[in-house]
């Protein structure tokens, strides 16, 4: 009878470990890999510029939001942008003046030089509706909805 009791205790513990691994989040820096990468994938990942200087390349499940702020007008984006929970998001804003992007809720800030582009990449892992604004002029540029 002791063997049956041990199985009853081990099975829920094993399921808890498996489920915890599945829900570890979608952040590639913190999630444990499901399997070791193939040698081809490893060599492809190591060839090329370092991640800090590489321009983000959206994944098939990622969302790139491109916005232009020029002559006081915002273009290139709808008033509301919806992204699925767990989606990788790249927000790219070009401005004709010095500005700062602020993503409320995620508390992200990115400086934009005059005539330049600022970019922020993050995982939309906090459900809700968040204002994205040009911080210097205090102007909302769109609402990010994560669901």
- pLDDT, position 9: 42
Asked whether residue 133 carries a pLDDT value surpassing 80, the answer given is: yes
Distance CA 48, CA 69 (A): 32
- pLDDT, position 43: 38
Distance CA 131, CA 145 (A): 9
In this prediction, residues 10-29 reach a mean pLDDT of: 37
The superfamily (CATH) of domain 63-146 is Cupredoxins -  blue copper proteins (2.60.40.420)
- pLDDT, position 5: 42
Q: Residue 45: which residues within 8 A CB-CB, separation 6 or more?
A: 37
Position 144 confidence tier, pLDDT thresholds 50, 70, 90: very high
Considering the entire predicted model, what is its pTM? 0.58
Distance CA 115, CA 137 (A): 16
DSSP characters over 71-86: TTEEESS-SEEEE-TT
Task: Dump pLDDT digits (tens) for 29-88.
Answer: 334 334 444 444 333 343 433 333 334 444 446 999 999 999 999 999 999 999 999 999
Task: Dump pLDDT digits (tens) for 79-131.
Answer: 999 999 999 999 999 999 999 999 999 999 999 999 999 999 999 999 999 99
Asked whether residue 22 carries a pLDDT value surpassing 50, the answer given is: no
């Amino acid at each position: 009878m002791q063997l049956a009791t041990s199985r009853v205790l081990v099975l829920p513990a094993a399921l808890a470990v498996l489920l915890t691994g599945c829900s570890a989040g979608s952040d590639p820096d913190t999630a444990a890999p499901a399997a070791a990468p193939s040698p081809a994938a490893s060599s492809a990942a190591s060839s090329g510029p370092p991640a800090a200087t590489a321009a983000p390349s959206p994944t098939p499940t990622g969302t790139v939001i491109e916005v232009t702020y020029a002559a006081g007008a915002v273009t290139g984006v709808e008033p509301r942008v919806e992204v699925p929970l767990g989606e990788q998001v790249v927000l790219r804003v070009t401005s004709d003046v010095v500005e700062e992007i602020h993503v409320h809720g995620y508390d992200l800030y990115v400086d934009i030089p005059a005539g330049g582009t600022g970019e922020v990449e993050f995982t939309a892992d906090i459900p809700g509706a968040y204002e994205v604004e040009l911080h210097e002029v205090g102007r909302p540029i769109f609402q990010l909805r994560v669901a």
